[in-house]
Structure formats: C-alpha cells, structure tokens
Amino acid sequence: MTTHPNPDPHQRVDRADDRAPDPAPTRQAAVDHVHLRIPLSHPEVPSECVWAEPLGGERYRIANVPFLVHHVGLGDVVVAAEVTPGELELVEVVERVHVASFSYELHRHVDAAEFVERACAIGIATEGMAGRLFASSAVDHAAADRLESMLEDDAEWFERFTSDGLVLRSHGDVLGR
C-alpha cells in the first residue's frame, strides 16, 4: 500500500503492475481512479501500471508512487492515450510535481513500518514490495535530502533519481549493478 504524507489530494491506494495480479481496488479508487500503463524498456517487465486520477481530456494525475519508473512520480500530471479499449498508456509528462524518487532495500534489523512512518512524517510517500524493498517519492528537495540521510543509515542500498529519471546517487551494493 502506498503511504502519503498528506491525505489529500492523493489518497491511499493499492499499487498494481505487470509483475503481480491487480490488487482489489478500494471502493474509492475504483470510482475516482483508473489504471494507467507506463511502458518500460525491460525485456521481462514491459510496463508498470499505476493509479491515476482523471483530470479531463487526456490528462491524469499520478495517484501512487511508481515502483519501477522514476521519470514519472506521485502527483505528476500526464497525458495518456487509450491504446486499446479501456487501456490507457502514458504519452508524456506535462507537469512534474515530484522532485526526486528513490529505490531502496532496508537493512534486516530496521523496522520497515517504523521507517515508513518516519519517512511519511517528513513528507515522503512510500510504496513497498516484498517487505524490504521500497520506492519513495518526494515533492520537496529538503524532504528528499532528509530521506537520503535516513537511507545512509538504514538501507542496504539505495538509488536517488532526479524527477526526469536520471540516477543522482547510488549507495551500497545496488542490485543489478
């Protein structure tokens, strides 16, 4: 489940991607949000699906933290096109709200729930997978810097990305490197 520092305008919703079956959406998410596919260039994972809030026309606001992509983040406004009936795909980002995103794995001795609470308290939205792997999104540079400091102590490894998806910093034994 995604945790957000502010309950509004971004509600708490479950994530969905091509690696696992879609979770049962909350009643609110089913009414107010749609699935939006973000294409990836990975041969085994062709895309990631996120929740998005329709804004009218072909514009949508990303409503949860993407796990695999970093050029799109929580709160960003995007244009999407219907590629098949009922299936939306990202075309472009038209307004960036997030300023940084992170991928990381917490040390085994770190209480993940407590870490996520601390991150939320400083303004960081977080998405978890498999208990120790996380993705976070920041809409404020100071909060992103504070999260990076936390990760230096509490993570096995982490990567920090700019809002356009470039790796800004890697720390530890980053998977796949």
Residue range 121-149, pLDDT digits in tens = 999 999 998 888 999 999 999 999 999 99
Task: For residue range 92-128, list pLDDT tens digits in order.
Answer: 999 999 999 999 999 999 999 999 999 999 999 999 9
- For position 19, what pLDDT does the model report? 36
Residue 41 identity (one-letter amino acid): S
- For position 10, what pLDDT does the model report? 38
| Radius of gyration of the CA atoms of the chain, in A | 15
CATH level 3 topology of 100-172: Alpha-Beta Plaits (3.30.70)
DSSP 111-147: -HHHHHHHHHHTTEEEEEETTTEEEEEESSHHHHHHH
pLDDT at residue 71 greater than cutoff 70: yes
Q: Which of 51, 75, 138 is nearest to 103 (CA)?
A: 138
Residue bearing the bigger pLDDT, 42 or 73: 73
Map out the domains of the chain as residue ranges. Answer: 27-95, 100-172
Evaluate whether 151 touches 102 at the Cβ level (below 8 Å). Answer: yes
Place of tokens 């991928």: 103
Summary count for the chain: helices (H), strands (E): 3, 10
**pTM for the full predicted model:** 0.79
pLDDT at residue 18 greater than cutoff 70: no
Evaluate whether 79 touches 92 at the Cβ level (below 8 Å). Answer: yes
